[in-house]
Structure 1
Amino acid sequence: MKETGQKAEAVWSDYSQRCSTLLHSTRPFVFRDYQDLADHGAAAFETIRDINMASRLVGDMFGSTLDDPLSDRYKKLGCSVSALEKDSDDYKMIVKYLDTTYEPVRVGDIDYGVSVENIFSVEPSACPSLDEIKKLPNKVLLWCGTRSSNLLRHLQKGFLPSVCSLPVPGYMFGKAIVCSDAAAEAARYGFTSVERPEGFLVLAVASLGDQIIEVKSPPEDTKSLEEKKRGVKGLGKKKTDESEHFIWKDDIKVPCGRLIPSEHRDSPLEYNEYAVYDPKQTRIRFLVEVKYEEMGAELDTTEP
């Protein structure tokens, strides 16, 4: 937006009123920039969409006449979920990937680390099969941030592209499915609140296609990227050490490496982000249950 001063304020005020008309709220929010629009407009719309889907899936649990309503909802989910053994190779690989690419989430003046509670292998029927994914080129295992409110929809429907294009992280690639090689990026979305320290991180296999476009700033024409469905890599201020990357099963690359400064210090992205425009090129593979813990806090174990 080229307008500044009072003209800009008038435009943002108009956007805010339009959004309040579509998404009613007891506390209407006034947008002041694109980041506000992303955080409190686009993200809010996606959350309401996913909560609506989840509520339809769950329905009335208490009024059900089924002997086992929970099992019935699990079947409707259309996604097999099974816990990984903690001594399995996959479990150890994922914990290493998380520990290596994680940085504390900062909320206010407090830094939060994470500990892994459980890791689940998931097989969503809505996503391409593993055999289909195996045939695709440039496969990478990437972190995808999700709020707890979005989780059921991801498992039942798979990933959906972003609802809009905005020149800010998360939406700068247009209507794309965006993941990262840094668990630190996904952890920002997984954090819920201090009162609810549990969250989930998603690991997905994404095929970036035969040609990967690298960008250092928000693309000017996202529609052409959406039409051509090419993989895009947004270069962040930090990157994973490529010397530590390795190949996992089925020729899938795992960009597990220490986070180090990149040569792109002016990038709007903190970490590398990857955009895929075709849902058929992504498959949710693992669900990592984590607990956010205040760093440096000492627990008072004395009895009253």
Structure 2
Amino acid sequence: MEVVDHDSPEFNTIKTYMANTHGATHTMFDLEIVDVIRVDRADEDKKFKADLGNRMLLWHGSGTANYGGILSQGLRIAPPEAPVTGYMFGKGVYFADMASKSANYCKVVTDGADGLLLLCDVALGKVKPELNAKEYTLKKLRGFNSVQGLGKTEPNPDEAIKSEEGYTIPLGKPVDANQDKDCSLLYNEYKTCGAYSDCGLERNYDICGLIGADADVK
């Protein structure tokens, strides 16, 4: 683990990404970075399926209590016995390109409290787009590597940048995504099938500084 220098281009890029991707409906909290900690887990590069392509740097929100497991085992899908309710596209690992959407999942409900966000290099591969909820198992997802719930608002794709490592950073300011009127999501949502199936995660960043969030997911 390594703390990223606040004066580095890397830190400033992440800061811009967070500032630009705060959804207009997420008015109950502010986001401010305290520190960025780079995490390179042992053997994670070997498991990462970069050859799937379509790599994006995406946000993942989780309660602080979950980070012991995340740091020791990586992001994992829920076990078979866990209830399916609450997963828009079935069990998997979920990401967002809007920082505030993922921040809603950090379970920080006290004003002034800090939380943790992950930024992950995600190999999305071939993406199955969906406008509304639909459960996907590995079998149903055959031929695709991930699912994207299409949101009405998205980071401006014309402002996305490509990193030296090869992933896209969708740090543009929010714009209308011109989706079908039946679209049920306000913001994009990405589901992969778990780090040990048809997708992979590489470099993770811990982002500290989720301030005064509520638990309402919009």
Is the structural similarity TM-score above 0.5?
A: yes
> Which of the five TM-score ranges fits, normalised by the shorter chain?
0.7 to 0.9
Q: Distance in 2 between matches of 1:119 and 1:95?
A: 9
Q: 1:158 to 1:229 in 2, by over 3 A?
A: farther
Q: 1:217 to 1:129 in 2, by over 3 A?
A: same
Kindly indicate whether residue 6 of structure 2 is the aligned counterpart of residue 89 of structure 1: no
Q: 1:164 to 1:172 in 2, by over 3 A?
A: farther
Q: Which residue of 1 aligns with 2:216?
A: none
Q: Which residue of 2 aligns with 1:231?
A: 146
Q: Residue 262 of structure 1 is aligned with which of 177, 185, 194?
A: 177
After the TM superposition, which residues 279-298 of structure 1 pair with which residues of structure 2 at under 5 Å, given as runs?
Answer: 279-280=195-196, 281-293=200-212
Deviation at 1:263, TM superposition (A): 2.5
* 1:97–1:256 contact (8 Å) kept in structure 2: yes
Q: 1:257 to 1:228 in 2, by over 3 A?
A: same
Deviation at 1:261, TM superposition (A): 2.5
TM-score by length of 1: 0.61
Q: Which residue of 2 aligns with 1:124?
A: 41
Q: Distance in 1 between matches of 2:111 and 2:21?
A: 25
Q: Distance in 2 between matches of 1:221 and 1:268?
A: 17
* 2:109–2:212 contact (8 Å) kept in structure 1: no
Q: Secondary structure at the match of 1:98?
A: helix
Deviation at 1:191, TM superposition (A): 4.4
Q: Residue 115 of structure 2 is aligned with which of 199, 207, 217?
A: 199
Q: Distance in 2 between matches of 1:275 and 1:206?
A: 10
- Percent of aligned pairs sharing the same letter: 22
Q: Which residue of 2 aligns with 1:248?
A: 163
Equivalent position amino acid for 2:37 in 1: F
Q: Distance in 2 between matches of 1:178 and 1:291?
A: 19
Q: 1:226 to 1:214 in 2, by over 3 A?
A: closer
Q: Which residue of 2 aligns with 1:144?
A: 60
Q: Which residue of 2 aligns with 1:42?
A: none
Total equivalences in the alignment: 206
* 1:143–1:180 contact (8 Å) kept in structure 2: yes
The structure richer in helix per residue is 1
After the TM superposition, which residues 1-304 of structure 1 pair with which residues of structure 2 at under 5 Å, given as runs?
Answer: 81-103=1-23, 111-125=28-42, 128-129=44-45, 132-162=48-78, 163-166=82-85, 171-194=87-110, 197-209=113-125, 211-219=126-134, 221-225=136-140, 230-264=145-179, 265-280=181-196, 281-293=200-212
Equivalent position amino acid for 1:289 in 2: C
* 2:89–2:134 contact (8 Å) kept in structure 1: yes
Q: Distance in 1 between matches of 2:211 and 2:46?
A: 31
* 1:237–1:266 contact (8 Å) kept in structure 2: no
Which ranges in structure 2 are unaligned for 5 or more consecutive residues? 214-218
Instruction: Tell me which of the two structures has the higher relative contact order, counting C-alpha pairs closer than 8 angstroms and 6 or more residues apart.
Output: 2
Deviation at 1:206, TM superposition (A): 0.8
Q: Distance in 1 between matches of 2:101 and 2:115?
A: 14
Larger radius of gyration: 1
Q: 1:120 to 1:105 in 2, by over 3 A?
A: farther
